[in-house]
Chains A and B, each alone.
Chain A
């Protein structure tokens, strides 16, 4: 058996749920091994939290600073998910060992580090590219006056009447989809003979959700298409006047 390296005294630290262990951007040199519990690693970009990983018992974090020769600030934050016990390693002796290990092992490790940093850059670039493409698509959709956002399909009767022209005529429609931004309603084409159904017209709509609450909104017609059902039209409407309570109810309904 070759000489066995002595393990230096180890410091233990405990953190409670929600406590921050490492803060992105800070300068720290310790390396941590999880003895008990779980931690969440995340980055913040423009105040948006990007989760990177969840680690548990036996796993190590804080290694990036070590391999970067302690020159770089912490590249991500680490937070305790539950009660966490950690073993804290001071890097001084490890850095010494790293410096003295066979050169080829250091060469391989350095190459792995460079590849990891490159892959991280690729991910950053592709993610921001993806985000840009999405933003461009949304902007294009907005331009073309289409309704945005995910719509939930559901079928619910509703009554509506023109809010643009003073009309007392109550009309009937069938809501086919809904989002916090608007609704899609299928109506009998005959409705459009009595009351204007043009893009830009505003409608007062009243309907019930499964929760029992009645929703009253004013919405603008964004699109008028022929429905798949002959003799019917499909109206795409965007909410204009909607109460906070109604939005909340729709929000809950979207999640159900």
Chain B
């Protein structure tokens, strides 16, 4: 996936992350949004049977969108760990927030519903993956 100029316009800071670094920790507070500019990250979730890797994301992937879009649940729903060296872009959260707030109530609840489903489904998938 190539990274659109749309996204570059929102990057306020770039950071280079060393391999195996925990970029986001599940359960921690925070609603910063990142975009993966180079490299790959693993998404991991805690389950009763241990840590389950549920996804690997590459260039162009936005991470941290769930707490950002849900607002009410600002805890991180999964951990994100760099696989190799990763270049991250930090997105302009305030600007995004302002633009999001301008959407109609209905469209916002549709997006929120989608993200809630993603959260639930990810949880379900990680439990199944850990049970294997």
Contact = CB atoms under 8 A, between A and B. Distances in A.
Interface of A: 2-3, 5, 7, 31, 33, 53, 59-61, 63-64, 66-67, 89, 94, 97-98, 101-105, 107-109, 111-113, 115-116, 118-120, 122-123, 126-127, 129-130
Residue of A89, A104, A126, A130 with most chain B CB atoms under a 10 A cut-off: A104
A129 to B, nearest CB: 7
Contacts, number: 107
A59 B33 CA distance: 26
B128 A127 contact: yes
Interface string B99-132: 1101111110111111101101110110011011
Interface of B: 4, 6-7, 9-10, 33, 54-55, 61-62, 65, 69, 91, 96, 99-100, 102-107, 109-115, 117-118, 120-122, 124-125, 128-129, 131-132
A122 B110 CA distance: 23
A116 B117 contact: yes
Contacts of A2: 102
A1 to B, nearest CB: 10
Contacts of B129: 122, 126
B114 A107 contact: no
Contact of B128 (A3, A33, A59, A122): A122
A187 to B, nearest CB: 39
30 contacts: A5-B105, A59-B113, A60-B109, A67-B114, A89-B106, A97-B104, A97-B107, A102-B99, A103-B4, A104-B6, A104-B91, A104-B96, A104-B99, A107-B6, A108-B33, A111-B62, A111-B65, A112-B69, A112-B115, A112-B118, A115-B118, A116-B114, A119-B121, A119-B125, A122-B54, A122-B125, A123-B121, A123-B124, A123-B128, A126-B132
